[in-house]
Amino acid sequence: MILEKLFAFRNRGDEPKPFLAHLEDLRFTIVKVAGALIGGMVLSFAFRSELAAVIQRPLVAVDPSRAANLQSLGVADSFTISLELAFYGGMVISFPFLVLFLAEFILPALTAKEKAMILPAAVFGSGLFMLGGAFAYFVVLPQALEFFFQDAKAMNWQPTWTVREYYSFTTQFIIAFGLSFELPLVVLMLVKLGIVDHAHLKKTRAFAVVVIFVFAAIITPTSDIVTLLLMGVPMCILYEACIGIAWFMARRAAAK
């Protein structure tokens, strides 16, 4: 059972807790995660007009006339799309707290020095998330929009996008890139826990590249090869950076 394995991991280096105590910790963590996410959603919803303008800006950058041609076909589109934008905006705002709360739950049996690293790790993870989102927003998304617009015209179709389709596509696109850039945090956490080391990372490099591109193909909301490469190649570069950081961590540990 997944929960039993997770609870067994949480007992490392500490007095074993009863199963119900773990469940209580899990319940409290879920409450904190939900509270942080809802708080971020409320803040995002309060600025929904500004948030919508920000999401629409890549389309304006490609061609201002296309943004003016977005169509609303649903009666409640303004409200439902605002809720969707608020959810994704809340996820971005609360991301450092989500990482912090989850780390505190999964890794309770850390030393005081290791616990002090949780907050910097949460900040680092948030920075990676923002970097991935910014890369998608400023570099990849305008090119993807232009590609699909011209591809539709090549099929002798008149591209007429609805606001629902556009905002769903762009928000999922940006979030997908943000999550993909969390790879270094995941790998370095595995290194820190002693599950893998730099030698293992080097040995499995070819397998990791395949997994990265499969993962990129799954989470990318498009199926074109250009977008796949624009997501997969930076992830491969980040993986190589992880190998170097893991090697440095091993040398520093050996020196101590």
Per-residue pLDDT, 108: 64
* Residue 24 predicted with pLDDT over 70: yes
Average pLDDT, integer, range 7-26 = 66
Highest average pLDDT, of 53-57, 226-230, 247-251, comes from 53-57
Summarised one tens digit per residue, pLDDT across range 115-161 is 667 777 778 888 888 888 998 899 888 888 888 888 888 888 888 88
**Mean pLDDT of all residues in the chain?**
81
SS (H, E, C) the chain: CHHHHHHHHHCCCCCCCCHHHHHHHHHHHHHHHHHHHHHHHHHHHHCHHHHHHHHHHHHHHHCHHHHHCCECCCCCHHHHHHHHHHHHHHHHHHHHHHHHHHHHHHCCCCCHHHHCCHHHHHHHHHHHHHHHHHHHHHHHHHHHHHHHHHHHHHCCCCCCCEHHHHHHHHHHHHHHHHHHCCHHHHHHHHHHCCCCCHHHHHHCHHHHHHHHHHHHHHHCCCCCHHHHHHHHHHHHHHHHHHHHHHHHHHHHHHHC
pLDDT range class, residue 40, cuts 50, 70, 90: very high
Summarised one tens digit per residue, pLDDT across range 83-124 is 989 998 898 888 888 878 877 777 665 666 666 677 777 788
Summarised one tens digit per residue, pLDDT across range 199-231 is 888 888 888 888 888 888 887 766 667 778 878
